[in-house]
Structure 1
Amino acid sequence: MEIIIIGASFAGVSCGLRARQLYPKAKITLIEKNQVLGFIPSGFLLYITGRVSTLEEAVFIKQDVLKKAEIEVRLDESLTNCYPDQHRIETTKGSYTYDRLVLAYGSAQESQILQVDDLSETETLPLVYKDFPSAKRLAEKVPAAKTISIIGAGQAGMEAASAFVQLGKQVELFETMDYPLFKYFDQSFLAPFLVTLKETKHLHLHCNTSVKTITQENGFHLETNTQTQASDLVLTTVNVHPKENPFYQIFESHSDYTLKTDAYLETSQTDVFAVGDLIQIPALALKEQLYMPLINNAIRSGHIAAENLEQKRKPFKGGLRTVGTHLFGWYLASTGLLEAEAFSYPGKIATKSCTLNAHLFDEAVIHCKITFDQETREVLGVQLLSKENCLEKINTAALAIETRRTLEELAQKDYFFQPIYTPAFDVLNHLGLGSDSDES
């Protein structure tokens, strides 16, 4: 069996490695448009904050690992056309035939509505940092910049803002919604964190503000719905989305350009699979399909696609939009359904909130909120916020949602106790019993 995978980021690499385990005699080829293999989307931030010494180190896989697995890697090569009826593709460097094709070429971070004035001059400007070439250009510009404007206050935008403030840059952060991180947290829950943002020097958050155009003349000028903002540097961290490609007409797709797949991740064309940021996946808390461009979803979808290349045997069950991060001194984590998304849930939801000590002998606290089905009391979502590292707890919460645990079952979940590292009664146990604030 000849397997060709287009895209060598998390989804493509995980698919290739799993396919090698399952099909030891198969010929597996990874085709990647970039010259650097396995660049981490947040690698730029790791570099400027000193977590890695060079951008080239900010990778999750080395080529020798794939070589050892007898997977051929072809870098600096892009897919240009696809002929499923012939089981053939064309790239910028040649033509290939396949038995199974996996599309895993990821997403783009460019705004679909933002106008950049004079494209000929701004084509090479560092407006994003998701891929290696963009990150390299941006890294060259940052040292000289005193003011940096960021468009989009989701996780990527907030992480960039936090990093730039650490470097002493003046950051102007623009968000069209009422508050940052709106996809992952309810606004009222973020109250302590939002106070920190207001008090943070060198950070100015512009909510309910849409950036219309960017022009470059003696720096950058952003025109919004309320003002014009001058800045030394601009980057966009808007929601990622699949790029529209000429051969999309070959495949059935959604209005957002994600490819339609069956439960086994096969597209509308036989023997062609799609994974990662190219597809919508089942949202477990809502029982519907959503676009969730998260790395863990990409890896798991790559594994499942590999399982189904020879015969369809494992459906992809989807995900919960589980995230965790560290911003401006706060650890934030979320999984599943928000209270603000109650309108999307077919039943009635209720919530419980509490604030507990993070450790037995520590004044630091963890703010917690749980969303659950009012009738069945099954856990639907959890949000955590603390100055102490509480991120790992969100994985337990996600497992509780996936396995449809109730509040009462969560209250009886077994946790270890160590007075230096834990409270006497875990926060998730406490949420299962009751809370300081119960809401219907």
Structure 2
Amino acid sequence: MLNCSQKLGVISVKKKIIIVGASHGGHQSILELLSRYDDVDITLFETGDFISFMSCGMELYLENSVTNVEAVRNFRPESFPQKNVHILNNHQVTKINSDQKTVSVTDLENGKSTEESYDKLILSSGVNPKSLPIPGKDLENVYLMRGYDWATKIKAKLEDPIVKNITVIGAGYIGIEAAEAAVKAGKHVNLLDVIDRPLGTYLDSELTDVISEHLAEKGVEVHTGVKISEYSGQGNQVQAVKSDQGNFPSDVVIQAAGVQPNTAWLKGTVDLDARGWIKNDKYLRTNLPDVYAIGDATLAYSVAANKKIPVALATVARREARYLVKHLFEKTPSVPFAGIVGSSALSVFDYHFAQSGLNSFTAERAGVKIASSFYEDTLRPSYVPENKVNPKVYVKLFFDPENHRLLGGAVLSTYDITAQGNVLALAISQQLKVEDLAEADFFFQPGFDRQWSLLNLAAQHALGEVEFTKK
């Protein structure tokens, strides 16, 4: 274990580290600080009353697939019994006083404010879910699909036999999870989105067409291109969602319409972009000395896009925290943050998909020119019948049209092939080309795959090669 002051070449002095936010970035920062240094004093402030609820685990909780709601978390305050770690929930950091190197903190339980000093300040303030700015958003039973409190409220409604109709706003990951949990609870579900297809910002149309059909088969009524005007009700109770495509009866409305950075409190102090994302440099430093920013409230450097883009993923926050703490006490870090690929996966009833890097939507938004290729096959050789676990598999690859460097990809099947997404992530991070993937040495066993593995075949297809026999 290192002494942070030894790294500076001076006499050891205990360094006070303040962390804002108890989600993935904050948690990983504590782990890294304790692992790497023995002379730090760590204080973490969390606005909420429940430390480190994992919203990405909410669907599992709603479907009774976890032990209990108290367990759907990264850590508890008592997870860190060390005397140099102080974890305070219900404490809101309201201001950074960079000249004095202090933060203003309000104890939300008693309203008292204090000034806390720091040597290093790590901002991992995260994002807040968006509530549509329309009439009726404050009606009862209009919920957000994020956080401990909302999870318990939604769970109660899913178990309430009086609740028949649930409308989910937003057909991204969180909205899909909400819709699936509601259907499995026996509710009638309308899924609404302003864009033209569910999961449209994550997957290209060849894959979303498969998922759209599957959602309909499972009883989810998907409505796209919808412009919502109002949540209407009688008294304080929501009863319908009004839109340009008609009214949708709603005993409960679950909003999953995106997120926004939790940075309003930083305006005028920390440099933000026009949308409120924290600006940080290639070393994750803000414009203020000894103040750093990681996680969902920042833009992450994308290896595929070669620029910073919004990537709100736990994996990103944890990698940034690991890098940051490793170099926290270097005057100028020896290397910049290497960047991320951005990978994720989701189950949609019987289908499973994983995606990594860019797709058509994110590439266009980032101004990156891409080529793409769609490949459809079976998981195993054709002599294995479908009823012996040989389902269809789908692959979409994205690459630079000039040098063929891999920039993104996605896989989809009713069989769980999501681990292939990790192969794509590694290939993208190492800047491999389609030709490299076409010839990569993967195993073969007909009980698992093909003589040329699925990603081999998808890459060969992208190169226009004569397809390997399906016999």
| TM-score interval, normalised by the smaller of the two chains | over 0.9
Aligned-pair identity in percent equals: 25
* TM-fit CA distance, 1:137: 2.2
Aligned length: 433
Distance 2:246 2:143 in 1: 20
Offset at 1:13?
Answer: 0.7
* CA displacement at 1:436 relative to structure 2: 10
Q: Which residue of 2 aligns with 1:95?
A: 115
Partner in structure 1 of residue 355 of structure 2? 334
Whichever residue aligns with residue 260 of structure 1, its letter is K
- Which residue matches 1:207? 224
1:408-419 map, 5 Å = 408-419=435-446
- Residue 37 of structure 1, aligned match among 51, 54, 58: 51
Distance 1:169 1:418, change over 3 A: same
> Does residue 1:322 correspond to 2:343, yes or no?
yes
Say which is worse superposed, 373-382 or 336-345, in terms of deviation. 336-345
Residue deviations 1:181-202, cap 9 Å, x none? 111111133322222123222x
> Aligned AA for 1:163?
A
Change (3 A) 1:3 1:345: closer
- 1:367, 1:239 → 2: CA distance? 27
Matched, 1:26 2:40: yes
How far off its partner does 1:344 sit? 5.3
SS at match of 1:250: coil
Deviation at 1:70, TM superposition (A): 4.4
Deviations 1:71-103 (A, max 9, x none): 221112111222111111111133210001111
Residue identity opposite 2:119 in structure 1:
D
1:376-387 aligned at under 5 Å gives the runs 376-387=403-414
Asked whether the 8 Å contact 1:151–1:211 carries over to 2, the reply is no
SS at match of 1:42: helix
Is the alpha carbon distance of 1:177 and 1:419 closer, same or farther for their aligned partners in structure 2, counting shifts above 3 Å? same
After TM superposition, the score normalised by the length of structure 1 is: 0.92
* Segment of structure 1 superposing worse, 211-220 or 33-42: 211-220
For the residue of structure 2 that corresponds to 1:130, the secondary structure is coil
* Distance in structure 2 (CA, Å) of the matches to 1:377 and 1:118: 47
Question: Aligned to 1:253, what secondary structure does the other structure show?
Answer: coil
- In the alignment, the residues of structure 2 paired with residue 285 and residue 310 of structure 1 have an alpha-carbon distance, to the nearest angstrom, of 29
Alignment of 1:189 onto 2:207: yes
Structure 2 unaligned regions, length at least 5: 1-14, 108-113, 466-471
Which deviates more, 317-326 or 413-422?
413-422
Partner of 1:390: 417
Which residue identity lines up with residue 96 of structure 1 in the other structure? E
Deviations 1:314-354 (A, max 9, x none): 42233233111100210111112223455457675322222
Where in structure 2 are the equivalents of 1:106-255 lying within 5 Å? 106-111=126-131, 113-117=132-136, 119=138, 122=140, 125=141, 127-144=143-160, 145-201=163-219, 203-217=220-234, 218-255=237-274
Which one of the candidate residues 453, 456, 468 is aligned to 1:429?
Answer: 456
Q: Does 1:76 align with 2:90?
A: yes
For the 8 Å contact 2:341–2:356, the answer to whether it is kept is yes
Asked if 2 retains the 8 angstrom alpha-carbon contact of 1:283 and 1:318, the reply is yes
Q: Equivalences for 1:47-86 in 2 at 5 Å?
A: 47-68=61-82, 70-86=84-100
Between 25-34 and 64-73, report the one with greater CA deviation: 64-73
- The structure-2 alpha-carbon separation of the partners of 1:262 and 1:118, relative to structure 1 and needing over 3 Å to count, comes to closer
Per the alignment, residue 111 of structure 2 pairs with none
Indicate which of 231, 235, 260 corresponds to 2:279: 260
TM-superposed CA distance for 1:118, in Å, is: 7.2
The structure with the larger Rg is 2
Separation of aligned partners in 2, 1:294 and 1:316: 16
Unmatched segments (≥5 aa) in structure 1: none
TM-score by length of 2: 0.86
Check the 8 A contact 1:371/1:380 in 2, yes or no. yes
> 1:427 and 1:236 mapped to 2: Cα distance?
37
